[in-house]
Amino acid sequence: MPKNNAKRWTIISLVVTIISILMVVTGIVMEDYNFYWMIMVGLLLGITFTVFFFVFLRQAKLLADMFNNTDLLAHWTFDSTEQLEKVEAEYKERKTRNKIMIIVMTFFFVLIGGFFLLFAFDDMEEAGLFFMIFFGTLVLLYIVAFAAPRVMYNRMKKALPEVFVGPYSAWVMGEYTQWKAPMTRITDVNLLHDESGDVVISVNFEILQRYGPQLQVCRIPVPDGKEEEAIKVAKKIASVNNVEYIYSE
């Protein structure tokens, strides 16, 4: 049985939320202007990871339901060659997506950092600790953005060559995707044949982020001989989510 990794991220989000609350309380207790940044950073992290907590909690439940054959539409297995092809394609896509993401994040960090530099501090020495933590966080995000695709690549190669498909999410060889979540809107479900002739269920959805809706896709590979079952699964996903089903030759 695959591991429900969403449970781990639920716990991590809860821990960071608690730490954020402690930062806010500490900043208030200090009653010192030089430590007000702890309140701001604590609030930012607290709000962010509180949202993450509920998102991962929902993911953990959906995964548990699929692994326990509740709300499970399909369970398929693949050979090692098919698994490696999926891993390679996903690795390339993640690297490209993360490069774009880090460029956008850098812009916002520089913008916010410049605002604090111009209006929040009278003495640069007082700002030193703030900027050390602020840009240290950016460096950490850089490390995560560039390391995450490689970690994903190694994890998927070692994962079980299986696919679990539910009406609201799918677990594809170690990678979990959910298209029913806060600020997420599914647009359509497409059953298509790729260049090699393999059948793929493509669930297309949008995630609303601070810089606008971002198009995402969950590509669910279909084993040989399972096309008829895949059609039923794709139609069921579209029906449950009240979106269009598209069949592409």
Residue 8 domain flag: yes
Backbone region of residue 186 per phi and psi (left: phi > 0; alpha: psi in -120 to 50; beta: other values): beta
When pLDDT is cut at 50, 70 and 90, the band that residue 117 belongs to is low
The residue among 160, 179, 195 that closes a domain is 160
Count: domains in the chain: 3
- Write down the pTM of the prediction: 0.66
HSE at residue 213, side-chain half, CA atoms within 13 A, is 10
196 and 227 inside one domain: yes
Q: Token pair of 186, please?
A: 């599914």
Mean pLDDT, all residues of the chain: 81
58 and 6 inside one domain: yes
247 and 186 inside one domain: yes
The residue among 53, 70, 87 that closes a domain is 70
104 and 140 inside one domain: yes
Chain mean position to CA 161: 21
149 and 105 inside one domain: yes
When pLDDT is cut at 50, 70 and 90, the band that residue 164 belongs to is very high
129 and 168 inside one domain: no
- Residue 39 structural domain: 1-70
Residue 234 domain flag: yes
CB distance 171 to 218 below 8 Å = no
Dihedral, 56, 70, 204, 81 alpha carbons, nearest 10? 100
Residue 66 domain flag: yes
The residue among 70, 89, 118 that closes a domain is 70
Residue 88 domain flag: no
232 pLDDT above the threshold of 90: yes
Residue 239 domain flag: yes
User: Which range, of 31-35, 39-43, 177-181, averages the lowest pLDDT?
Assistant: 31-35
171 and 229 inside one domain: yes
188 and 238 inside one domain: yes
Dihedral, 80, 202, 13, 100 alpha carbons, nearest 10? 100
